[in-house]
Amino acid sequence: MSRTKTKALPRTADFAAEADFKFVPGSAEGDIVSLPTFSIRAYNGGALNHPKFPFPVVVDLATLNASKSRPALLDHVTGNRVGHTTDIRNAGTHLDIDGIVSATGDAAREVVASSQNGFPWQASIGVYFSRPLELIKAGRKIEVNGQTFEGPVLVAREAVFREITFTALGVDDNTSAQIAASHKREGEKKMEPKFLEWLQASHFDAEELSQEQLDSLLASWKQITATPLPAEEIVPEPVVNADLQAAADAREFVVSINKICAKYDDPEIEVEGKKVDLAAHAIREQWTVEKTELQAMRNSIESRPLPAAHIVQGGTSSIKALEASLLLGQTQNDEAFVSSFYDDKTMEAALSPRFRGRGLHYLMHECILAAGGTVHPGAKGDELIRCYQESCILAAGGPSTVSLPGILSNLANKSALRSYLAVPTTWRNFSSTRSLNDFKIHTGYRLTAAGTFLEVGKDGELKAADLTEESYTNQLSTFGRRYFFNRQDVINDDLSMLEGIRNLLGRQAALALEEAVFTLLMSTADNFFHANNSNLVTTNAFDIAGLTAAEQAFLDQTDNDGKPVVLGAAGLLVPTSLKTAAETVFRSTMVNETTTADTPAGSTNVFGGKYAPISSPYLNAAGMPLQSATTWYMFADPADIGAMEVGFLNGVDTPTIESQEAPFHVLGFEFRGYFDFGVARGDHRAAVKSTA
């Protein structure tokens, strides 16, 4: 019986959309001209048949990378640009796309004119599989996109949406989806089998190479395999001075080698365990021009990370090393922090002179070359931006191996995390945490009389506990901001501006969570702190007597049947106005008390070193509702019982920072940060509030 090896399956496929285009012509009002737009139900979440795959393919929408604006083409041809997408809505069960006809070439004009004449354009989407497909064998079932599929079926996880194309191919009414004919690059259909065999032997994948790279490799292969002419057909060369000819040949050889290596940003190769300059090694070893270009191209391809915002660890690539070097510069050379994200080889390369001090322009050069584009080594300003934009269009014809927004997102997440963790927040000292898997309302339970064990009778039956009497709810919300990094900042090579944006997003996320916790803590709307809950002590100033009263209220907490819940206080939360007094009590071993006659008092401080104080300006800040300079709290250890609860989506307790090219009408890049969390009251027995 043959076995399906999913690693050997194609990494790209073109699928026809599920519905016809909805095309809206442009209009003009006065001096304002609106461009034509289109919308499409690109995928309904079902199984797709394809001649290149042995079983139907289901694209997992939950892990689909479709967050970027992508090109709109005509018949999958990179040069036939029609426009770009403006909104990609992933509902988890289907994928909808809106776009605009923003190009000005023949392809765009043909689509617009044909649509105005009533031509029924259809849509096809290009998808890249960033990881091997998952095979669900016959007899097994799996749920994806809200549907149940029975094997055999292939599931595409973490696929990347590459492009949308206008096509005349319609959807077959008898199938859930019709596969568009996979396009071939110009010249690919003319490839000789021996040339393809040579490509495979040289570790090149024809489907991942641009047309320019294929043409260059084809020329090299033809020269390498050329049959020498018969002796009678060789035309004698004119006699020249041998020394002069040798000098001229040597000079031309060196110039050719240097030009080739400069085109690939002067790569290095490993020789006998050491990194050496490729150009110098090729000249020293008298490599041919063809062999040098093959090695330079191979280095460029092998150094590319996988597509998406997360660069895969393992091995040293120039992109990862450059990313690590940039992060070092943005964290004041904090090697301990940066090395937590990269392996030793990458860190060693990042600290080398080759990458230190590099800026945004150098990073854009790397991305252009990795995408198969071309750029002059000294290009900058609008020329560099133009080359980068052209390379993005080029990459749309194949998997985007290096994404500048993806790399910037990597840097943003790491540097923003550092800023987020650096903010001296206090909520973790008195709040428990919880992982929530969606944005629905989630229920939690407080301590009740049902929380104790009961004796098991002779029948061996365990008594059921009722948890419904003491419950609370928590629900996630999304908080976020976005910022633009404009064209002027790109031309200025201003990475400091990027660093400022990322640090600001990290800090804002930390403060948003801290403020949400304290706003709910200080609120009196639900009587959480109330005499009926035995957790509110009024007229209780912060001193030894006040601590005694608060501690007794804490230790005397009971369940619904009046039985002790046996909780111990673990810490104090005070406003900054009481910070010095709280630290004095905590650090002092002796106290001075005034006593009445014949009523002696001990001088030992029983609270010394007992409750570590935490101070927060949120308690007495003028801008906070119900602020007070004299109200303070005593809390239980949140690892046992939390008076407050903070929930995070799937347990991710840090913000997410992303970047992408700005919308078509904005020049530059857009950064956004968002944070999914929810704050709720926990158990009122885990805290005592004191007011003066």
Query: Rounded CA gap, 290 and 292, in Å?
Result: 5
pLDDT at 185: 39
| Model pLDDT, residue 679 | 94
- Predicted local distance difference test score (pLDDT) of residue 311: 30
224-233, 251-260, 283-292, 463-472: the lowest-pLDDT one: 224-233
| Alpha-carbon dihedral 336, 340, 341, 343, rounded to 10 degrees | 90
Query: Which spans in 165-277 are helix H?
Result: 193-201, 211-224, 242-263
Amino acid at the residue 451: G
Residues in contact with 505: Cβ distance below 8 Å, sequence separation at least 6, in sequence order: 412, 416, 419, 481, 483, 655, 657, 671, 673
- Read off the pLDDT of residues 475-493 as tens digits, 9 standing for 90 and up: 889 888 876 666 666 666 5
Report residue 674: phi and psi, to 5°. -145, 155
Q: How many CB atoms lie within 10 A of CB 546?
A: 18
Which has the higher per-residue pLDDT, 374 or 397?
Answer: 374
Q: Which helix (H) or strand (E) holds 443?
A: strand 442-445
Whether 404 and 388 have beta carbons less than 8 Å apart is answered as yes
Q: Which domains does the chain have, with CATH numbers?
A: 6-185 (no CATH), 423-454+468-593+604-692 (3.90.1690.10)
The two three-digit tokens of residue 2, written as one number? 């043959």
* 391 pLDDT above the threshold of 70: no
Give counts: helices (H), strands (E), the chain. Answer: 16, 29
- For the chain, the C-alpha Rg in angstroms (whole number) is 34
Residue 187 has pLDDT above 60, yes or no: no
pLDDT, position 305: 42
Closest CA relative to residue 660, chosen from 66, 63, 68: 68
Total residues belonging to the chain? 692
How far, in Å, CA of 344 to CA of 310, rounded? 18
Task: Over range 69-88, report the average pLDDT.
Answer: 82
Mean pLDDT value across residues 642-662:
83
Q: Are 324 and 338 in contact (CB under 8 A)?
A: yes
Is residue 29 pLDDT above 60, yes or no? no
What are 520-543's pLDDT values in tens digits? 999 988 899 999 999 999 999 999
Provide the 3-class DSSP secondary structure of residue 18: coil
- Residue 674 clears pLDDT 50, i.e. is over it: yes
3-state DSSP assignment of residue 507: helix
Backbone angles phi, psi at 389, to 5 degrees: -65, -40
In 268-384 the beta strands, taken as DSSP E runs, fall at 268-271, 274-277
State the pLDDT at residue 400: 44
Name the residue among 411, 408, 386 with its Cα closest to residue 331.
Answer: 411
Looking at this protein, which amino acid is placed at residue 516?
A
In whole angstroms, give the CA distance from residue 397 to residue 210.
8
Compute the distance between CA of residue 332 and CA of residue 18 in angstroms, rounded to an integer: 51
In this structure, what token pair is assigned to residue 112? 């617009």
The pLDDT value recorded for residue 109 is 87
> What average pLDDT score do residues 104-126 get?
83
- The pLDDT value given to residue 323: 80
Q: Mapped to the 3 state alphabet, what secondary structure does 590-626 carry?
A: ECCCCCCCCCCCCCECCCCCCCEEEEEHHHCCCCCCC
Mean pLDDT in residue range 410-432: 81
Quote the pLDDT of residue 37.
85
What CA–CA distance (Å, rounded) separates 341 from 324?
A: 8
How far is 247 from 254, CA to CA, in rounded Å?
11
At 438 the three-state DSSP class reads coil
pLDDT exceeds 70 at position 241 = no
Q: What is the pLDDT of residues 278-334, one digit of tens each?
A: 888 888 888 887 788 777 776 765 554 433 333 333 333 667 787 888 778 777 778
pLDDT band at residue 669 using 50, 70 and 90 as cut-offs: low
3-state secondary structure of 684: helix
pLDDT score recorded for residue 220: 66
Half-sphere exposure of 180 (CA within 13 A, CB side): 27
Distance, in Å, from the CA atom of 326 to the CA atom of 305, rounded to the nearest integer, reads 17
Tell me what pLDDT residue 405 has. Answer: 65
Q: Which residues contact 309 (CB under 8 A, 6 or more apart)?
A: 403, 405, 406, 409, 410, 413, 658
Residue 166 and residue 71 in contact, taking contact as beta carbons nearer than 8 Å: no
